[in-house]
Amino acid sequence: MHLSSDDLVFWEYGWVKLNLTIITTWLLMVVMGGGSWLLTRKLSNAIHIPRWQHVLEVVVLGIKSQIEEVGLAQSRRYLPFIGTLFLFVVVANLAAIIPGYEPPTGSLSTSTALAICVFIAVPLFGIREIGVLGYLKSYLHPTPVMLPFNIVSEISRTLALAIRLFGNIMSGGMIIAILLTITPFFFPVVMHALHLLTGMVQAYIFSILATVYIAAATRGEGA
Amino acid sequence: MLIDWFTVAAQVVNFLILMWLLKRFLYQPVLDAIDAREERLVKQMQAAQDAQSAAAAERNKYERLNTELAQQQAGLLAQATAEVEATRLQLLEAARNETANLRSQWQDALLKEQQNLTQGIANRTRQEVFAITRKTLADLADTGLEARMVAVFISRLQTLGMAEKVQLSPPAGQTDCQVLIRSAFLLPPNEQKALGQAVRNLLPIQPTIHFELEPDLLSGIELISNGHKLEWSIAEYLAALEASIGELIRTALNPSPQPLSLKGRGAEENDPPVPPRPLRERGLGGEGVFDHV
């Protein structure tokens, strides 16, 4: 039993290797990118639109409204980053309903990669909004004494993002696998449903925390 | 180790690629479609509001036109009513005037016809009276009417008062005196001679006497001298007769209803008018009239 999908390596050359995490991620990218391309080829701007277009609009506008509710007025600027975080985690977690599927988010490498993206994106968006000095001043907020704490907080929250997502998804998969060996019929189904719900919640938590961090950075309020 | 840093790097790259893919094929197209639809809705709403405003303006315009039309209609109706009323009054006045003129003409014609009828009756009566008188005198008294009238006229001349004689006489110092004797019938020479002699005896100077035949004198004799006229005829009787006949005709033409009265004989105000006295009651005796000419 693999603790992480990183351990299942299909091809390896030196330090370059193709493991299950990367392959699954590529498959998800193909499905999400190709599906988006197929669905948005014939978008209608008429009064009456197809139902699938309604679904797409509900998803996009829902993410956009969540960003605005957190406090980011220029929601279109942050929609690709935060929306992709949410949709990738959601699709990766919900795909767990497919038998034999190993979610890439259950890999600490993937969650770390997403956390690093957030860790890099937050100062970038902050500097873009309020400038370098303005962003650096946010580490002195509310007093310069808080500088080391803010730095530690910046690092720790990134670790927390990575560990939280990894822990929840990995533990869910582990519990289902263990239950399948103990009580193979009823309880694994319930736990699987609970795992899907946990995956949705974790996607929401991950993206909303990233949004909060970006919002704090763009306002100069520090970490 | 749980973290494979190559996988981390690969996942970072994968995430960035996925972000670009979704931005290119999901977020941007969907947001563009939403924006296009919102813009289209805004345009349609604006067009609808413009159309509504135009419709409201048109409605207000037609309501104003309807109000003006109603006012004009009321004004024209009032004007037409006033003109009709004025025309009616004018036509009524014209009809009243026409009726009054016709009534006046009818009354004039009726009066004229009445006068003609009265005159005709009087003439016929005069002719009949003279014919009867003449025949009666001829049959019963063996004498003529004209002769008796001349005799009576001479007798009256002889019995004239002093004042009447003075009035018929010319002023003192005047040597010429013209006397005109007019009669309704031709006087025979004997009567002319007797009448001339009576006039000469009446006046202080010898007058020049002329005789004229005047049928309108109603079988009478007129003597005109010194601007005074002495008439001796039955004109007075005939005038009374004409008055009686005229009153009779007027009564027949305009019968005035007499209301029934429960009063006794003492109600003099309701008594019928006294009819004119008949000719026979006045007698056949002549009556002299002395008048200035």
Q: How many domains, chain B?
A: 2
Can you give the pLDDT at residue B276? 41
Given a cut of 80, is residue B61 above it in pLDDT? yes
Over 80: is that where the pLDDT of B270 sits? Answer: no
- B168 and B95 in a common domain: no
The winner for highest mean pLDDT among A80-89, B119-128, B200-209, B250-259 is A80-89
CB contact under 8 A, A33 and B8: no
Name the band, by pLDDT with cuts 50, 70 and 90, for residue A3.
low
In this structure, is residue B270 part of a structural domain?
no
B229 and B148 assigned to the same domain: yes
Q: Do residues A206 and A85 make contact, with C-beta atoms less than 8 angstroms apart?
A: yes
The answer to whether A109 contacts B8, with C-beta atoms less than 8 Å apart, is yes
Q: How many CB pairs under 8 A join A and B?
A: 127
pLDDT at residue B272 greater than cutoff 70 = no
- pLDDT at B161 (0 to 100): 84
Give the up-direction half-sphere exposure of residue A92: CA atoms within 13 A in the CB hemisphere.
36
Q: Report helix angle B28-136 to B145-158, nearest 10.
A: 90
**Is the per-residue pLDDT at A115 higher than 60?**
yes
Domain end marker among B63, B82, B108: B108
CA distance A144 to chain B (A): 33
**B22 and A84: CB-CB below 8 Å?**
yes
Same domain, yes or no: B83 and B161: no
Q: Tell me which of A21-25, B140-144, B245-249 is least confident.
A: B245-249
pLDDT attached to residue B266: 42
Query: Given the structure tokens 């999901």, which residue do they identify?
Result: B26
pLDDT of amino acid B264: 40
In percent, the amount of chain B with pLDDT more than 90 equals 35
**Same domain for B157 and B243?**
yes
- Provide mean pLDDT across the span B201-216: 83
Alpha-carbon gap: B1 to the closest alpha carbon of chain A (Å): 10
Let me know whether B162 and B243 are in one domain: yes
**Residue A19's beta-bridge partner residues?**
A9
Q: Which spans in chain A are helix H?
A: 20-39, 51-70, 75-94, 108-137, 147-182, 186-219
Shared domain for B98 and B19, answered yes or no, is yes
Q: In the prediction, which pLDDT does B263 show?
A: 42
CA distance B54 to B48: 10
**Dist CA A40 CA B33 (whole Å):** 9
Say yes or no: B170 and B230 in one domain.
Answer: yes
Name chain B contacts of A22, Cβ cutoff 8 Å: 7, 10-11, 14
- Of residues B43 and B145, which shows the higher confidence score? B43
Q: How confident is the model at residue A102 (pLDDT cuts 50, 70, 90)?
A: confident
> How confident is the model at residue B185, as a pLDDT?
78
**Distance between CA B289 and CA B293 in Å, rounded?**
12
**Chain A nearest CA to B46, separation (Å):** 15
CA distance B177 to B43: 132
Per-residue pLDDT, B56 = 96
Same structural domain, B104 and B179: no
pLDDT tens readout for residues B147-206: 888 888 888 888 888 888 888 888 877 778 888 888 877 888 888 888 888 888 888 888
Would you say residue B276 lies in a domain?
no
Note whether residue B239 is domain-resident: yes
Q: Do A21 and B7 touch (CB under 8 A)?
A: yes
∠ CA B182-B184-B185 to the nearest 5 degrees? 105
Question: Across all residues in chain A, what is the average pLDDT?
Answer: 89
Res. A202 pLDDT band, cuts 50 70 90: very high
Q: What are the CA-CA distances from residue A172 to residues A5, A156, A176, A194, A195 (Å)?
A: 14, 23, 6, 8, 6
A149-162 confidence digits (pLDDT tens): 989 998 998 889 88
End-to-end Cα distance, chain B: 178
Q: Comparing A90-94, A104-108, B244-248, B284-288, which segment has the lowest mean pLDDT?
A: B284-288
Question: Looking at the domain assignment, is residue B287 inside a domain?
Answer: no
Q: Rounded distance, CA B217 to CA B289, Å?
A: 13
Instruction: Pick B37's closest partner by Cβ from A45, A110, A117.
Output: A45
Q: Give residue-wise pLDDT tens across range A139-190.
A: 888 888 999 998 999 899 888 988 898 888 888 888 888 888 887 778 778 8
Cβ of A117 within 8 Å of Cβ of B12? The answer is yes
* Residue B221 confidence (pLDDT): 83
B163, part of any domain: yes
Q: Residue A180: what pLDDT? A: 81
Average pLDDT over residues B54-70: 96
**Dihedrals φ, ψ of B188, to 5°?**
-65, 160
B95 and B21 assigned to the same domain:
yes
The answer to whether residue B172 is domain-embedded is yes
Q: Which residues pair with B212 in a beta bridge?
A: B182
Which residues are paired to B182 by β-bridges? B212, B222
User: In the predicted model, what is the mean pLDDT of residues B212-228?
Assistant: 79
Contact state of B22 with A6 under an 8 Å Cβ cutoff: no
CA–CA gap between residue A110 and residue A202 (Å, rounded)? 14
Question: Residue A65 carries which side chain, given as an amino acid letter?
Answer: S
* Half-sphere exposure of residue B35: CA atoms within 13 angstroms, side-chain side: 7
Confidence of residue B29 (pLDDT cuts 50, 70, 90): very high
Tell me if B6 and A4 make a contact (CB, 8 A cut-off): no
Q: From residue B203, how far is each of A69, B169, B231 by CA, in Å?
A: 158, 6, 17
Hey, is the C-beta of B36 within 8 angstroms of any chain A C-beta?
Answer: yes
Contacts 24+ apart (CB under 8 A), B68-71: none
Domain of residue B236 covers: 144-249
Q: Tell me whether residue B130 is in a domain.
A: no
Q: Do A110 and B31 touch (CB under 8 A)?
A: no
- Domain co-membership, B101 together with B158: no
Give the Å distances, CA to CA, from B95 to A14, A189, B1, B85, B107: 136, 117, 134, 15, 18
Asked if the interface predicted TM-score (ipTM) of this complex is over 0.90, the answer is yes
pLDDT at B274: 44
Residues B162 and B228 reside in one and the same domain:
yes
Q: Is the pLDDT of residue A118 over 80?
A: yes
- Burial track B195-219 (b if 16+ CB lie within 10 A, e otherwise): bbebbeebbeeebebeeeeeeebbb
Classify residue B164: in a domain, yes or no: yes
pLDDT band at B219 (very low <50, low <70, confident <90, very high): low
> Alpha-carbon distance A130 to B47, whole Å?
42
Determine the pLDDT at residue A120: 95
Contact list, A19 vs chain B (CB under 8 Å):
4, 7
**Which of B23, B24, B27 should one mutate to test binding to chain A, selecting the residue with the greatest count of A CBs within 10 A?**
B27
- One-letter amino acid at B233 equals S
CA distances from A115 to A110, A112, A168, A216, A221 (A): 9, 5, 15, 17, 20
Between residues B122 and B95, which one has the greater pLDDT?
Answer: B95
| pLDDT higher than threshold 50 for residue B267 | no
B51 — pLDDT class (breaks 50, 70, 90): very high
